[in-house]
Every structure is written in C-alpha cells, then in structure tokens.
Amino acid sequence: MSYLFKLALKNIQRSKIRTVLTFLILSFGVGIYIFFSCLMDGFDKDSIKNVIDFETGHVKVRSAMFDEDRPYATENFIKNSKIVIGKIKTLGFVTGVTERLQFSAELDNGMDAMPVIAVGIGPADNAVFNMEKYIVEGALEENGAIIGKPLAKDLGLQKGDMAYLTFRNQQGMMTSAEVMITGLIQSANPQVNSSAVFIKLDEARQLMMTRDAAEIIIKTNDFFKAEEYTARLRDTLEGLDVGVFSWKKLSEDFRAMMTMKKKFQNIFVLMIMVIAIVGIVNTMLMSVYEKKREIGTMKALGFTDKEVQKLFLVEGTLIGVAGGIIGLVLGTLFNAYFAFKGMNMDAMLGDQDWGMPVMGVIKSTWMLSAYVKAMIFTLAASLIASYYPAKKVTKMQAMECLRTVQ
C-alpha cells in the first residue's frame, strides 16, 4: 500500500495546474460549506436568543382562554396573576418572573398614526428580558414611553416629544392618552423596533382600567430544559385557569422557517459539492486517459487489476484529503472574520423587518459538526468520484492500453 501511495502522490504532481484547480474547486466547496453552516448556526442561535430575550422568555403563562387569532384581546388577560406569580416563585429552577400587559393601540404624532403594540412592563422585567441593554437613548420614566428607533423615525418623533396612544380599554371604551417619548430602543428584534411602545405596567393597568396581566414570563436556570420545566409548571399551576408554554412551542412558526431555511441551505451546499465531485471525476478520467499506456505497462509488469484500481482510488482520496484540508483552512479563515467581527445586518438591510427575529451584528459560531461533516463528505465524495475511473481501468486489458497512441 505504501508503494501505491508513493506512486499516487507522484501521479498527482504530474499535472500541477489541473490538480491545483481540482483542489481549489473542492476546497472552495468545503470552505463555503463550513463558513455557511457556522454563519447560519450563529444566525439561528441569535434568532433564538432574540425570541427568548424579547418575546417568549423560557416559559410563558397565558390565560387558559387565550385566543391565538386575537392575541391582544382583553379577554386574554390573566385574572389572578398575583397568585400565579406567587406559585411560580416557589419553584427552584425559576430565576426570574415578570408580568406584562399588552394591548393593541395606535401611536399618533398629531399628523400620522401607526398601529403599535403597547407593552406595560413591570419592575421585574429585567430579570427575564434583556431590554435595558438595547435602550440607546433615555429611559422609561413616569408617564413616558420607550419606542423603537425605526418607529420614531417613521413618525418623526424624538426623545422629549409628545405623542398620543389611542386604544380600546377593557371596558371597550376608546381612550386616548398623552405620553412623552422618554427613551429610544434599538433592539436585535425588528418587531420590537418597529411596533412596540413600552410603558410602565402600573400606567398600562390604569389606562386599560384593569388589574390583570396579559402574560407572565419566566426565566429558568436552563433554557434547554424548558420542556421539562413547562411540564412541572403545568402541574404547579393546575386549577388556576392558565396555559403554560415553552419557548419552543411559542416559536413554532419561526422554527419552521429555520427548518425551511436549512433545507435551502443544504440544497445550495449539495450543488457546490456536486460541482466538486464532477471536478474530481473529471481529473481522474483525464488521468486515466493520459496514463493508458502506463497502465498497460504496469499491468504487463505484473500489477493486478485490483492494484491498479487501488492506485486510482488512493489518487482520488489524496486529492480529496488535500482539498478537504485546504477547505477546512479556508472555511476557518472565512469564519474567523465573521466569528470575531460579525455580519452587520443593519448595514445590509437597514431597519427593514424581513420576518426573522434578528438585527444588528450577527456573529457566526464555531460549529464542530460542520467540520466533521465536511471532512466525511469530502472523503466519501473523493472515493465515489474515483471509483468509476478506477473501475474503467480495471476493465481495460494490458494490450488495449499499450496500443493507445499518445
């Protein structure tokens, strides 16, 4: 085997330009696969983080009457939120719990109005969500509101400006309240930026003329155990007329989009890999035709068909391994930039909400499984790509090869 390895190595060096081109195609394919997988993994992780940090928490408690089709209807409010929170706090895995009161409204600057979601947030909000980190100007004050920067831009509002929040309260009366914009937020979740108006929970309750909460959001010590904790919370809160949902359940639509995105990503990567395989097949076939006389000589000298076949398989595998390793290095270099510097989505898409819960700088991850998969795929692809040319060699008789005019 070591002799065949040596011969294969010499053969690879024969047509340097062709070998280098094959290496490049293969390494580019592997590099792109690694880079793309790591970037998408970063994208997915950021998306999940943003969904948890701005929308769902780890576990959410809603009224048992919650209507998915009218998520901001006042009928969805939890009547006994204080008792529910008290019970939740008795569980050891709960690290934070807060209640929010959301209702649909319009924000009016005196000239134009935009549909928004008013969100009343309690003092414990920071124990669950990560909002404060993203406030770029001002703070949430008495009779004030924090709105997203893009929303402020759309309505021509600045910190210190007055605006009107118009909504229907729990009793069904249309109400309008004057609020001062006391802060601006630029979060990593475009939905928050474009449609949320944060006010204090007590003020939201006064405006809605209610003592209820729309939802109770819980942070646990391990979000991977959200399903298990959800089950335990359901047991604890049994009989209180509430439903308990994990972040996974609440982000089903978004996760379905992620799955679809992954499928497209796989098709794209598969296409690159097919190109890489065609490259190796081409190189190996050229190699077989070029070396027909040599193959004949080798067979005349006593090489068995299997030994000649092995020679070509080793040659293909060497191309695969070398191309794969170069690809790993290329992928690492591409990925290093985006893992440390990140990709600025704002620079690419501005403030547009494109349906995914990510904004700002997305950093790619170091996804070990992508490296392992790329290497396994490259080796398998090289072997498959070399098999046909190698089989072709086996079928040729020594004399048939020696008669070739070159």
Partner 1 sequence: MLLEVKNLNKTYRSGKVHFQALHDVTVSIDKGEFTAIAGPSGSGKTTLLNCIGTIDSADSGQLLLDGIDLIGKTSDQLAKLRKEYFGFIFQTYNLIPVLTVYENIEMPLKLLRQDGADVLGKKVMTMLEKVGLRGLAKRRPLELSGGQQQRVSIARALVKKPKMVLADEPTANLDSKTGEDIVGLMQDLNKNEGVTFVFSTHDPLIMRHAKRLIEIRDGRIAS
Residues that bind partner 1 (CB under 8 A): 3, 7, 10-11, 13-14, 293-294, 296-306, 397-399, 402
**Residue closest to 4 by CA, chosen among 293, 308, 398:** 308
CB of 298 to partner 1, least distance (A): 8
**φ and ψ at 15, to 5 degrees?**
-105, 85
Residue 14 or 263: the one with the smaller Cβ distance to partner 1 is 14
CB of 9 to partner 1, least distance (A): 9
Residue 305 or 346: the one with the smaller Cβ distance to partner 1 is 305
Residue 149 or 292: the one with the smaller Cβ distance to partner 1 is 292
Residue 119 or 314: the one with the smaller Cβ distance to partner 1 is 314
Cβ-count burial 203-233 (b if 16+ within 10 Å, e if not): bbbebbebebbbbbbbbbeebeebeebbebb
Residue 16 or 264: the one with the smaller Cβ distance to partner 1 is 16
CB of 309 to partner 1, least distance (A): 12
Please name the residues in contact with 46: beta carbons below 8 A apart, sequence gap of 6 or more. Answer: 188, 358, 362, 363
Tokens of 26: 């293969």
Amino acid 210 reads: T
CB of 16 to partner 1, least distance (A): 12
Query: By three-state DSSP, how is residue 182 classified?
Result: strand
Residue 106 or 307: the one with the smaller Cβ distance to partner 1 is 307
Contact 76, 62 (CB under 8 A): yes
Tell me how far apart the alpha carbons of residues 121 and 98 are, in angstroms, rounded to a whole number: 8
CB of 278 to partner 1, least distance (A): 25
Residue 250 or 401: the one with the smaller Cβ distance to partner 1 is 401
Residue 16 or 235: the one with the smaller Cβ distance to partner 1 is 16
Residues β-bridged to residue 137: 184
Angle between helices 305-340 and 368-395 (to 10 degrees): 160
User: What 8-state DSSP symbol labels residue 239?
Assistant: T
Contact 164, 177 (CB under 8 A): yes
CB of 398 to partner 1, least distance (A): 4
Tokens of 70: 């009218």
CB of 286 to partner 1, least distance (A): 15
Residue 6 or 89: the one with the smaller Cβ distance to partner 1 is 6
Tell me how far apart the alpha carbons of residues 152 and 195 are, in angstroms, rounded to a whole number: 10
Kindly report the number of other CB atoms within 10 A of residue 322's CB atom: 18
Tell me how far apart the alpha carbons of residues 52 and 249 are, in angstroms, rounded to a whole number: 12
CB of 395 to partner 1, least distance (A): 10
Tell me how far apart the alpha carbons of residues 217 and 126 are, in angstroms, rounded to a whole number: 11
Tell me how far apart the alpha carbons of residues 67 and 63 are, in angstroms, rounded to a whole number: 9
Tokens of 265: 């990503």
CB of 48 to partner 1, least distance (A): 54
